[in-house]
Amino acid sequence: MSDDIVGVLERELGAGAIVGPGHERLDDYGRDESPLPEFYPPLCAVLVESVDMASAVLRICAERKVPVTPRGAGSGMCGGALPVAGGIVLSTERMKKILEIDAGDLIARVEPGVITGHLQEAVEAQQLFYPPDPASLEYCSIGGNVATNAGGPRAFKYGVTREYILGLEVALMGGEVLRCGRRTAKGVTSYDLVAGFVGTEGTFGVITELLVKLLPYPPAAATILGVFSDVPTAGAAINALLRDGLRPRVLELADKNSVDYVRPKTRYRFPANAGAIVLIEVDGEPDTMTMQMEKIGMRCDDLGAIDVLAATEPAERRAVWEARRLISPALKEGWKIKVNEDVCVPRGRIVEMLARVDRVSAETGIATAVFGHAGDGNLHVNLLSNDNPDDPDVRAKMWAAAEQVFIHCVALGGTLSGEHGVGLTKRDYIPLEQSEQLIGWQRKWKAMWDPQGLLNPGKRLPLQRNACSE
Ligand code: 2HG
Ligand code: ZN
* pLDDT of amino acid 245: 85
Tell me how many degrees the CA angle 127-372-134 measures, rounded to the nearest 5.
40
DSSP percent split of the chain into helix, strand, coil, nearest 5? 40, 20, 40
Q: Report the pLDDT value the prediction gives residue 465, as an integer from 0 to 100.
A: 63
The reported pLDDT for the residue numbered 55 is 98
Domain edge (last residue) among 309, 327, 345: 327
Q: Which one of 91, 125, 145 terminates a domain?
A: 91
pLDDT at 198: 98
399 C-alpha vs ligand 2 centroid, how far in Å? 20
How crowded is residue 410: how many other Cβ atoms within 10 Å of its Cβ? 17
Mutate to test the pocket of ligand 1, among 259, 328, 338 (most ligand atoms within 8 A of CB): 328
Ligand nearest to the backbone CA of 155: 2
Asked whether the beta carbons of 149 and 162 are under 8 A apart, the reply is yes
C-alpha–C-alpha distance, residues 469 and 151, integer Å: 32
Domain range for 82 is: 5-91
User: What is the full DSSP assignment across 398-442?
Assistant: HHHHHHHHHHHHHHTT-BSBSSS--TTTTGGGGGGTS-HHHHHHH
User: How many distinct structural domains can be found in the chain?
Assistant: 4
Distances (CA, A) of 224 to 160, 233, 247, 301, 327: 22, 17, 13, 12, 18
Ligand 2 centroid from CA 379, angstroms: 8
Q: Which of 33, 75, 77 most suits a substitution to test ligand 1, by most atoms within 8 Å of the C-beta?
A: 77
Contacts of residue 326, defined as CB under 8 A and 6 or more positions apart, other chains included, come to: 262, 265, 266
CA–CA gap between residue 394 and residue 373 (Å, rounded): 29
In a shared domain, residues 61 and 27:
yes
Residue 218's CB is within 10 A of a number of other CB atoms, namely: 16
| Among the bound ligands, the one closest to the CA of 378 | 2
Q: Are residues 289 and 358 in the same domain?
A: no
Q: What b/e sequence results for 76-101 when a residue is b if at least 16 CB atoms lie within 10 Å of its CB, and e otherwise?
A: bbbbbbbbbbbbbbbbbbebbebeeb
**344 and 250 co-located in one domain:** no
How many beta carbons lie within 10 A of that of residue 4, not counting itself?
10
Query: Which atom of ligand 1 lies at the shortest distance from residue 373's CA?
Result: 2
Q: What is the pLDDT of residue 371?
A: 98
Last residue of a domain, one of 156, 189, 216: 216
8 Å CB contact between 133 and 153: yes
Residues 263 and 357 occupy one common structural domain:
no
CATH number at residue 318: 3.30.70.2190
Query: Residue type at 429?
Result: Y
How far is residue 370's CA from residue 46's CA, in Å, rounded to a whole number? Answer: 38
Q: Going by CA atoms, what residue is nearest to atom 8 of ligand 1?
A: 328
Determine the distance separating the centroid of ligand 1 and the alpha carbon of 102, expressed in angstroms: 32
Contacts of 374 (CB under 8 A, 6+ apart): 235, 238, 251, 252, 253, 278, 350
The reported pLDDT for the residue numbered 88 is 98
Same domain, 249 and 339: no
Q: Say what the pLDDT of residue 382 is.
A: 98
Q: What is the pLDDT of residue 38?
A: 87
Residue 281: beta bridge partners?
223, 250
319 and 411 both lie in a single domain: no
Give pLDDT tens digits along the chain (470 positions): 456 999 999 999 999 999 999 999 999 999 999 999 889 999 999 999 999 999 999 999 999 999 999 999 999 999 999 999 999 999 999 999 999 999 999 999 999 999 999 999 999 999 999 999 999 999 999 999 999 999 999 999 999 999 999 999 999 999 999 999 999 999 999 999 999 999 999 999 999 999 999 999 999 999 999 999 999 999 999 999 999 988 899 999 999 999 999 999 999 999 999 999 999 999 999 999 999 999 999 999 999 999 999 999 999 999 999 999 999 999 999 999 999 999 999 999 999 999 999 999 999 999 999 999 999 999 999 999 999 999 999 999 999 999 999 999 999 999 999 999 999 999 999 999 999 999 999 999 999 999 999 999 999 999 986 544 43
Residue 451 lies in a domain: no
Residue 369 CB contacts under 8 Å (≥ 6 apart), including other chains: 255, 257, 258, 261, 327, 331, 382, 384
pLDDT at 247: 87
Residue 373 Cα to ligand 2 midpoint, Å, equals 6
